[in-house]
Chains A and B, each alone.
Chain A
């Protein structure tokens, strides 16, 4: 039997140290556990300060005793390596474990055990926990804002349709794969715009939408019989002609008739709100800010001085001011700049403002990618006789954009997180709706539940986005 030296545990008396150490650690955790979950204090007979620190001291000694290098036990080595490398680390680890154990019961009781979700009025919320009934009752409002209940299927339908159209890339056959970029960059945003602008807002303008759909369907069907030589011209001319014919010649009378009959109720943008508005605003800003930012970044690296300094001015201006002042400008200053009879919808103004603002950030991110490309790429492309646009589209941008996926994703995340600011112009997306609901005299005092709910929603959305961007980054990573 070797001599026991408790200050320097070693391998020779492994089991002694191990049993004592594990016992002490387990004891300390047990004391804290009982104290926090069952409110029983095992060591209350000790004076205040000592009983407060005793678990920490016990656990600390225990961890010190089991800190044995190369003990030969896999688990023990792993624990030592990960949470118990030295005294300081052991202390911090214990502290974290205790804080977690201590904070679990109040959190659990607030979130689940004492919380209420049944019933449909404030009266059921008597416990000390959260009142999820509040969220349940207001859920509709948090999702759709003041959008009429009977019409909410339109928002749902649009989002489902857009989500479905968005996944089309996965089903495309080899033959159509090369058109996918075109589809996602041009066609999809246009479809989305039509859906949201005409379908969700409804009103007489909805007829434009239906005529557009009819024209598109008819022209696509006829398009199969057109020789491929003329297809290009055909698809530019025929749908537009059809649309105009439908609108002004065939169905003009009907339109006036139907205007009385009403097809889809018109919902003004002021009534849009909730999470769906968050999605709409971020979606549009996202698809608009990217091309604008792309052109600004190219402009900043252009050889033409006027274009160059114009781009620099734009970028530095939007990057230099806070978004809230931009929104202020769009709401109070911008109407001064328009002719008196001209009115631009609040939502459109906000979307333009946020798009320009975020475009400046996107431009700087893309510029980083452009600068990271070696000069040889430009020279090689030029030596093949490519012009400016051909060089950028075929050689430079695919490589540069690949490099800046994380940066662009961060900008988009910032955009989604900036959407609540539209409260400045009086549009209420989910955070705005929360503040509105909070001040409802029947539902006072549930601010916490609302904010926690919205935080969880935003966390899920943003976290999913950042994980997706990470996947994209890994997928397109090429050895260079």
Chain B
């Protein structure tokens, strides 16, 4: 150990400690002056504010912790919707960019260039304040397929009312478990005897047949509850029954998925292009059919390139969903770091909880990604 090694480290440590000490000292003084004591006890207090859209039961009499949960669930909801649609659009556009059809390739390229070069916030505003405001009022809405109502007040879709829902869920779980066993069995059989089992068609069959059986014999039933228009006042109408998706959720999910899809499309394109031509030719030369080439040779290698950056994009989407605060979609930032902070004035506690939530989310995903990367990395000898 020499001084040259220790000195810079000590200096860094000193500076960091000084800065932190300065900040925490000031925070203490400031809080004393304002008569606030630091602590997380406020989480169990009554929140006394309402949230417009919530997945769990919530009103003003619930605690701040419940409000936090409401915001968190709303964030997760919009992220999941966004991730699903972004993946679908992204994969389609990414494949379209590889098409040998000039028109398709150009259309996809224009889409990607256009949507990735416009700030996400602007897109959210565009959908919320400009596009969705052009929708008709509830009383003038033409139903889509008779049951969907797209109005200025939100998207009303029919809801399922289930009987014996638990049996239906058990049947799906049973199907999934049996599929896993069949896959293991098929792999063993192929390794031992070289005979392939049509796993995919069996799986799809199982997924359809088992729930169907539960409908026929398990007493599972579903009725559809269609939204019905209802007059509130002289000119105020709304729909009742079914599920209401508020316009904030729609515009946020739309903007998030259209924006993130452009990045996913580029990941998909890079992944498929990253598989060298020699691999395909080699696979074809040992007699694999084009489908087998795609399934056994190209896709496994392409996925290895595609999945890490795509997960990163999912993470970005989740973090970007915090822009919801700009259009008053009650997500974590708006409910907790907005309303709850205004009410309690506990800036340090609330901002730190909010940041920690996002931080733990992204760190756990990046730990998982590191593990996954190590697992799928090409094992070189």
Contact among B8, B24, B122 with A455 in the assembled complex (CB-CB below 8 Å): B122
Interface string of B100-111 (1 = CB under 8 A from A): 111110010000
Which of A317, A320, A332, A454 lies at the interface centre, i.e. has the most chain B CB atoms within 10 A of its CB? A320
Residues of chain A lying within 8 A (CB to CB) of residue B114 = 459
List of A residues within 8 angstroms of B104 by Cβ: 89, 92-93, 96
Contacts of B119 in A (CB 8 A): 416-420, 431, 458
**A418 surroundings in chain B (CB, below 8 A):** 119
Determine if B76 is an interface residue (Cβ-Cβ < 8 Å). Answer: no
Contacts of B125 in A (CB 8 A): 431, 434-435, 447, 451
* Nearest CB in chain B to that of A338: its residue: B26
Residues of A within 8 A of B361 (CB): 320
Q: Which residues B25-43 have CB closer than 8 A to chain A? A: 26-27, 29-31, 33
Whether A337 touches B355, Cβ cut-off 8 Å, given contacts A304-B9, A320-B363, A332-B347, is no
Chain B contacts with A in 69-104, Cβ cutoff 8 A: 99-104
Residues in A with CB closer than 8 Å to B131 are 448
**Complex contacts, A448 vs chain B, CB 8 Å:** 126, 130-131, 134
Per-residue interface assignment for chain A, residues 413 to 436, with 1 indicating a CB less than 8 Å from any chain B CB and 0 otherwise: 100111111011000000100110
| A332 in complex: contacting residue of B12, B113, B133, B341, CB < 8 Å | B341
A216 at the interface (CB under 8 A from B): no
Write out, one digit per residue, whether chain A residues 313-327 have a CB within 8 A of any chain B CB (1) or not (0). Answer: 000110111111100
Closest CB of chain B to A261's CB: distance in Å?
39
Chain A 84-97 interface mask (CB, 8 Å, partner B; 1/0): 01000100110011
Q: Are A321 and B12 in contact (CB under 8 A)?
A: no
Q: Is A35 an interface residue when CB atoms closer than 8 A count as contact? A: no
Q: A321-B358, A325-B322, A332-B347 are in contact. Are A451 and B126 (CB under 8 A)?
A: yes
Q: From residue B20, how far is it (CB to closest CB) to chain A in Å?
A: 10
- Cα A328 to Cα B363 in complex, Å, equals 21
Bound form: Cα–Cα A380–B364 in Å = 39
Interface residue? A251 (CB, 8 A):
no
Q: Is A161 an interface residue (CB 8 A)?
A: no
Shortest beta-carbon distance from B200 to chain A in Å: 22
Expressed in whole angstroms, the Cα–Cα distance for A435 and B351 within the complex equals 26
Complex contact A336–B362 (CB within 8 A): no
B337 to chain A: which residues have CB within 8 Å?
A: 325, 328
A168 near B: Cβ within 8 Å? no
A458 to B363, CA, bound (A): 32
Given the known interface contacts A306-B9, A307-B8, the answer about A320 and B347 at a Cβ–Cβ threshold of 8 Å is no
Query: Are A97 and B354 in touch, CB under 8 angstroms?
Result: no
Contact A322 B319 (CB under 8 A): yes
Which residues in B have their C-beta under 8 angstroms from that of A431?
119, 121-122, 125
Interface flags for A179-205 (1: CB within 8 Å of B; 0: not) read 000000000000000000000000000
A420 touches B122 (CB 8 A): yes
Q: DSSP class of A's interface residues: helix, strand, loop or mixed?
A: helix
**A270 in the interface, Cβ–Cβ < 8 Å?**
no
Kindly state whether residue B328 has any CB partner on chain A within 8 Å.
no
Total interface residues on A, using CB and 8 Å? 56
Q: Which of B116-135 contact A (CB under 8 A)?
A: 116-123, 125-126, 129-131, 133-134
Q: How far is the CB of B257 from chain A (nearest CB, A)?
A: 17
A325–B363 CA distance with the chains assembled, in angstroms:
16
Tell whether, in the assembled complex, residue A82 and residue B107 are in contact, meaning their CB atoms are under 8 Å apart. no
**B5 in the interface (beta carbon within 8 A):** yes
Contacting pair A324 B323 (CB below 8 A): yes
Q: Any chain A CB within 8 A of the CB of B13? A: yes
Task: Give B337 Cβ to nearest chain A Cβ, in Å.
Answer: 5
Any A CB within 8 A of the CB of B333: yes
Asked if A96 contacts B129 (CB within 8 A), the reply is: no
- Minimum Cβ distance to chain B for residue A433 (Å): 12
- Against B, the Cβ 8 Å flags (1 = close, 0 = not) of A231-260 are 000000000000000000000000000000
Inter-chain contacts of A325 with B (CB < 8 A): 322, 333, 337, 351, 354-355, 358
B residues lining the A interface (CB < 8 Å): 5, 8-10, 12-13, 16, 22-24, 26-27, 29-31, 33, 99-104, 107, 113-114, 116-123, 125-126, 129-131, 133-134, 319-320, 322-323, 325-326, 333, 337, 341, 347-348, 351-352, 354-355, 358-359, 361-363, 366
Given A97-B103, A324-B325, 14 more A-B residue pairs with CB atoms under 8 Å apart are A89-B100, A305-B9, A307-B12, A319-B362, A321-B358, A321-B362, A324-B322, A332-B341, A337-B23, A337-B30, A340-B29, A423-B121, A451-B130, A459-B114
A-B interface, 5 closest residue pairs, ranked by CB to CB distance from nearest: A462-B117, A322-B319, A82-B102, A337-B23, A306-B9
Residues of chain A whose beta carbon lies under 8 Å from any beta carbon of chain B: 81-83, 85, 89, 92-93, 96-97, 303-307, 310, 316-317, 319-325, 328-329, 332-333, 336-340, 413, 416-421, 423-424, 431, 434-435, 438, 447-448, 451, 454-455, 458-459, 462-463, 466
Name 14 interchain pairs, CB-CB below 8 A, sorted by A: A82-B100, A82-B102, A89-B99, A92-B101, A319-B362, A320-B362, A320-B363, A325-B322, A325-B354, A337-B30, A435-B125, A451-B122, A451-B125, A458-B119
